[in-house]
Amino acid sequence: MTIQTVGIIGAGQMGGGIAHVCALAGYKVFLHDISPDRIETGIATINGNMARQVTSGKLGEKERSDAMGRIAGAETLADLATCDLVIEAATEDETVKRKIFAQLCPTLNPEAMLATNTSSISITRLAAQTDRPERFIGIHFMNPVPVMKLVEVVRGIATEDVTFEAAKAFVTRLDKTITVAEDFPAFIVNRILLPMINEAIYTLYEGVGSVEAIDTAMKLGANHPMGPLQLADFIGLDTCLSIMQVLYDGLADSKYRPCPLLVKYVEAGWLGRKAGRGFYDYR
């Protein structure tokens, strides 16, 4: 299974980051989102992030311009018809993902591989909603994608060996390190990271410490590069809540109960950095 052309659904921080590393690795990339504006903003952000890498000496100017030349916008899902691999990196909402697969599959090359960047949802269940469960796999990148070395690869029950091997070869070409996780709620990274973030939010909710105290404690006391509340804002509080809900529903243990303060922030639309407001004010 040779992958040359990659389609990416979702031009936000994850989809854009995936497009960034794919283009730098030499893949032709088609980037899709629900509006031309979002695609344009996504491509401009990738360009800005690559320019930052040029300024810091991590990338040559020619590498940047060649990589940018490999990224094209795809206004419709049908524009992804010729891709060898399509990676879904849309909102962490199963209904949204299901609708995308229903629209995408009939136009997609029957031989193409389909992957999801879901942070938590069952790969087996998502695969079953497509016409190709044997060619479906979880390829889960970390944010910010160009910087973070890890990618989790997760097989569904029906994923064939050839798909698994092709996914591992693809991730290796991106110069990332693979961990293989079994298909359980939130896999490895988020199974461990999100309960820690949720606990930090409980710590705030119960008045144990202020936002600044909690983040400073974990940055200086546990050497985390970002405090858990800053990281929650960075990931997006809606995504954090979705992952906690998947853990709570899937593992049926009260230790995964989303903190009511997290629920309240999401209800208020205080979704973190992307919304201008979360535990911190970015306006």
Amino acid identity of residue 207, one-letter, is G
Q: What residues act catalytically?
A: 119, 140, 152, 190
- Strands 150-155 and 136-141 turn out to be antiparallel
Q: Please calculate the CA angle 264-268-269 and round it to the nearest 5 degrees.
A: 120
Cα separation, 114 vs 123, whole angstroms: 11
Q: Are 84 and 40 in contact (CB under 8 A)?
A: no
* 126 is a site residue for ligand CAA (CB under 6 A): no
* 116 is a site residue for ligand CAA (CB under 6 A): no
Q: Which residue, 53 or 130, is less far from ligand CAA as judged by CB?
A: 53
Amino acid identity of residue 96, one-letter, is V
Q: Which residue, 78 or 147, is less far from ligand CAA as judged by CB?
A: 147
* 189 is a site residue for ligand CAA (CB under 6 A): yes
Spell out a b/e string for 154-172, using b for 16 or more CB atoms within 10 Å of the CB, else e: bbbeebbeebeebbbebbe
* 56 is a site residue for ligand CAA (CB under 6 A): yes
Q: Are 95 and 48 in contact (CB under 8 A)?
A: no
* 130 is a site residue for ligand CAA (CB under 6 A): no
The single residue among 4, 26, 58, 249 that binds ligand CAA, judged by CB under 6 A, is 58
How many residues belong to the site for ligand CAA (CB under 6 A)? 20
Residues that bind ligand CAA (CB under 6 A): 49, 52-53, 56, 58, 119, 142-144, 146-148, 189-190, 193, 225-226, 231, 235, 239
Binding residues for NAD(+): 10-15, 33, 92, 97, 119, 143, 274
